[in-house]
Amino acid sequence: MRLRAVLPISLIAAVPLMAATPKKPNIILVVADDLGWGDLACYPKGEAWGDEAKTTTPNLDKLAATGVMCTQGYATGMVCAPSRAGLLTGKNQQRFGYYGFADTVPPFPADLKLLPAALKDAGYRTGMIGKWHLSFDESSRPLDRGFDRFFGFLGGQHDYYQPTVGEVMHGVGRGRDAHIFDQEEPVKEVKFLTDEFTDRAIDFMEQAGDTPFFLYLPYNAPHPPMQAPWEYLQKYAAPDGKFTPRDVAKASIESLDSNIGRIVDWLEEKGLRDDTLIVFTSDNGGSDGGPGRVLQHNGGLKGRKGTWYEGGTRVPFILNWPEGLPRGEVYKKPVSQLDLYPTFLAAAGDAGTEESAQLDGVNLLPYLDGTDPNAPRRQFYWCVDNDTAWAVRDGDWKLVLEDSDPDTLGGKFRGDAPREYVLQLYNIEADPLETRNLADENPEKVAELQKLMAAFRAQTKPSIATDEIMAQAKTRLAEREKNTPELNNANSPSGSPGHWKGGDKAEKPSKKAKPKKEKAPPEE
């Protein structure tokens, strides 16, 4: 009898142990497009800038204030496509031959397991809403690479109001047949895209039910074309209704912030906020030309999108998870978007998987929650598929081969003058603005970092955009130009519907392709 009494108690006691498996958090990865390091109110601003640098971003500021704000967060690229390739694979993209926009032409390497596929294996429902820009190939689209749900566009840029105007393929930046897709079907009408993507993201989360979800939400804001709803832009307009491109960028950023607030509000309303890990970042630095010619703002960092200076690769980087991370922490040690893949796997309870062992990033959780007080010791590498320009960082030191002109940075404002590349050494901890080149004073450190870069380059592969693949693409472009030339030159006016006029520096609609007002959707 006693034995019979003990057995049921043992079984009952075992039930809580079996049910004590930690709940997998929902994961939301929000990626802005060309957002600069200084574009959020909570990040520092350079002293030389005035009102043009100021933005109002209360929702993102709150995420930073109640989570972890990283001040040295890095992308792996200085332009969109390669940066996204690194983020979604957890590997330096150069290791598999992905360097630039041309690499969007061929299929994405089939042997690489993308982040959504790994999380899907871990029991997650996966959704992508927004900008893909990883591959145009029909075999390498979101639904082919681990996502259950896709709503968005394939190229690098898209009109915010017209559902078929954008980058339709590499080489056609403004086509008339660049569709927004709902799964595999083209969409005929959209709201302002930032609002539309948020609506679709909330729909995806609603449909997940009790299944943990991974939402990849790569907005195209504040990337050109420079468009924003009038409700955000109006306060920046001069009495005559004109505005600058920076005004539109600020309105776009504030619209983005408002929509992220909608995401957080939905989570709180559904009781999911504490169980959700939210990460916010940008794919590269902003197009910042300095005071008076800033589009997106890099907070005074040297350089801009398209350079290997800090302004090209250091980006906003915020993590917020009420149940798993500290509140109100400012993490000042270097982190990389390569770290997100292993961090998400660890949060999902799969840190020891084979995928984690093959990644270039590290699980950030023990560093951010204070379990490990040390910073991970590793190097950061940035390069394209030639030796023209590159950078490597080891600890506090960064060696960079870049365009030396501090005023034109990247040649955007130089006109016909040639670029001048100079090898430069900076102590980033002491000199984050890269103002003092220490190369002549530290030849041994220069040689050490050059050796590191050479060793890394020896591990990289040639571009997946082979000569044969690009020749085929060139033939397709020629056929398109011959047979349907009218598809190649669509127009995206700057500003807002009904207010398509800017200041002297604003983009002007083409007279040959002036949009008909009846095609613009009503303002939201």
Residue 513 to residue 509: CA distance in whole angstroms:
7
Positions annotated as catalytic residues are: 80, 133
SS3 category, 5: helix
Count of CB atoms situated within 10 Å of the CB of 401: 19
Burial of 486 (0-12, 13-18, 19+ CB in 10 A): exposed
The 10 Å Cβ neighbour count of residue 116 is: 24
Tell me the Cα Rg of the chain: 24
CA distance 443 to 446: 5
Residues 331-362 pLDDT 10s:
999 999 999 999 999 999 975 566 666 899 99
Question: pLDDT per residue over 384-395, tens digit each?
Answer: 998 889 999 999
pTM of whole model > 0.85?
A: yes
Contacts of 211 (CB under 8 A, 6+ apart): 123, 124, 125
Residues 57 and 39: their CA atoms lie apart, in Å, by 9
Q: Which residues contact 469 (CB under 8 A, 6 or more apart)?
A: 105, 106
Q: How far apart are the first and last CA of the chain?
A: 73
Give the model's confidence band at 406: pLDDT under 50 very low, under 70 low, under 90 confident, else very high: low
Domains of the chain: 29-377 (3.40.720.10), 386-457 (3.30.1120.10)
Per-residue pLDDT of 466-479, as tens digits, reads 999 999 999 999 99
Q: What is the DSSP letter of 146?
A: T
Q: Which of 381, 355, 205 is nearest to 197 (CA)?
A: 205
Question: What is the Cα–Cα distance from 419 to 402, expressed in whole angstroms?
Answer: 9
Residue 524 has pLDDT above 80, yes or no: no
Q: Smallest Cα–Cα separation from 53: which of 237, 254, 224, 294?
A: 294
Question: Is residue 340 within 8 Å of 312, Cβ to Cβ?
Answer: no
Alpha carbons 27 and 127: distance in angstroms, whole number: 11
pLDDT at 504: 39
Summarize pLDDT for 16-48 with one digit per residue, the tens. Answer: 444 445 689 999 999 999 999 999 999 998 777
Distance CA 237, CA 243 (A): 5
* pLDDT for the residue 294: 87
Q: Cα separation of 229 and 524, whole Å?
A: 7
Torsion angle defined by CA atoms of residues 20, 366, 348 and 267, in that order, rounded to the nearest 10 degrees: 90
d(CA 180, CA 241): 31
**Residue 162 vs residue 2, higher pLDDT:** 162
Q: Which long-range contacts (CB under 8 A, 24 or more apart) does 506-509 make?
A: 506/226, 506/242, 506/243, 506/244, 506/245, 506/248, 507/224, 507/225, 507/226, 507/245
Q: How many CA atoms lie within 13 A of 469 on its CB side?
A: 14
Q: What pLDDT, on the 0 to 100 scale, is given for residue 408?
A: 59
What are the CA-CA distances from residue 290 to residues 40, 57, 498 (Å)?
17, 21, 30
Question: What stretch of H or E contains 7?
Answer: helix 2-19
Tens of pLDDT, residues 242-294: 899 999 999 999 999 999 999 999 999 999 999 999 999 999 999 988 777 88
Quote the CA–CA distance of 369 and 99 in Å, as a whole number. Answer: 34
Q: Looking at this protein, which amino acid is placed at residue 276?
A: T
What does the pLDDT look like over 430-454, one tens digit per residue? 999 999 999 999 999 999 999 999 9
User: What does the pLDDT average to over 320-329?
Assistant: 96
Is the pLDDT assigned to residue 501 strictly greater than 80?
Answer: no
Asked whether the predicted pLDDT for residue 113 surpasses 90, the reply is yes
Side chain identity, residue 176 = R
Q: Distance between CA atoms of 392 and 106, rounded to whole angstroms?
A: 28
**What are the contacts of 38-41 at 24+ separation with CB within 8 A?**
38/297, 38/298, 38/299, 38/300, 38/301, 39/222, 39/249, 39/253, 39/286, 39/296, 39/297, 39/299, 39/316, 40/64, 40/253, 40/316
In this prediction, residue 241 carries a pLDDT of 82
- Supply the pLDDT for residue 377: 76
Residue 413: the pLDDT is 58
Q: Sort 7 into a burial class: Cβ within 10 Å, 0-12 / 13-18 / 19+.
A: exposed
Q: Where do the H-state alpha helices sit in 270-391? A: 310-313, 340-347, 354-357, 365-368
Closest listed residue to residue 334, CA positions, set 74, 18, 69, 64: 74
